[in-house]
Amino acid sequence: MIRVENISLEYDKGNPILENVSFKVEAGQFVSLIGQSGSGKTSILRAIAGLQQPSKGKVTVEDLSSRVGFLFQDDALLPWRTVRQNVSLGLRIQGEKTEVANKKADDWLEKLSLFELGDRYPSQLSGGQRKRVAIAQVLALHPKVILMDEPFASLDAIVRTRITQELIEWVEQENITVLLITHDLEEAISLSDVVHVLSPGPKAYIKSSHPVTIPRPRDILETRNDTSFAPLLKTLWNELVGEIKKANVVNFDKEKKLKV
């Protein structure tokens, strides 16, 4: 469904933030990318979505033009539109009549326990409610692929767990392919079939890949009781901490040379 082949991305010519990054996401698979800040995770999503052109390599996504949804860290709700109007907007852009689009929007609002909020505006919603509206907005378009850039980072733990559980249930039922960017290692393991670890930037690359063997369907809280959860969490933690320590040593040596 998604194929990233030896891509390099750069903001300054000759100084790539990513170099020779390759991975694939099979249809129906949930894959996470983790790594330090500045390792180019969001840039990879932008390249997959067609918002940024790689300087080298190739990105291939099936049905990119109409079947890819994007969940951002901050929701993309329009403040002057009601909840129903926000959820139906994408459908109307695709050519659906207003009545049909509103009916489909109401169906998804009901599925996500938001139907009674259809006439409210985003400013009248809690953070958790806004996030669920953003999810309904994406799912209403029946995407084959969803790209997620730390969409739950701003939520408190209880709301985050509940919304994540709702999302994973719909993803599993609809057989949606997902690529998630996250700094939360437990979230990555709980949701994913594969977790890829990026090295620090610049010139970041896929340092390692880890399959997650927890069976589906998944209960987010119960995944932590699986015997494979704790060992994988420790492995991912040690990899990231090791990279941070190495980066700190390199930066210290550079500063020391500059002072000399």
CATH assignment at residue 27: 3.40.50.300
Cα–Cα distances (Å) from 99 to 5, 83, 85, 104, 105, in that order, read: 43, 15, 11, 9, 10
Classify residue 82: in a domain, yes or no: no
pLDDT for 258 equals: 47
Classify residue 106: in a domain, yes or no: no
Please, what's the largest Cα pairwise distance for the chain?
Answer: 71
Note the pLDDT tens digit of each residue in 174-187: 889 999 999 899 99
DSSP code of residue 115:
G
Note the pLDDT tens digit of each residue in 35-75: 888 788 888 888 888 888 888 889 988 765 557 888 888 77
Q: Tell the residue number behind the tokens 């610049």, with chain if given.
A: 202
Q: CA 129, CA 122: separation in Å to the nearest integer?
A: 9
pLDDT for 31 equals: 96
Of residues 50 and 172, the one with the higher pLDDT is 172
Classify residue 239: in a domain, yes or no: yes
Q: CA 61, CA 79: separation in Å to the nearest integer?
A: 31
User: What average pLDDT does this structure show over 94-113?
Assistant: 90
| Cut 0.75: pTM above it | yes
Cα–Cα distances (Å) from 158 to 22, 101, 154, 155, in that order, read: 35, 32, 12, 8
CB 222 within 8 Å of CB 189: no
| 3-class SS of residue 216 | coil
Domain coverage including residue 33: 2-67+143-259
User: Total domain count for the chain?
Assistant: 1
157 pLDDT tier (thresholds 50, 70, 90): confident
Classify residue 152: in a domain, yes or no: yes
Measured in residues, the chain has a length of 260
Classify residue 197: in a domain, yes or no: yes
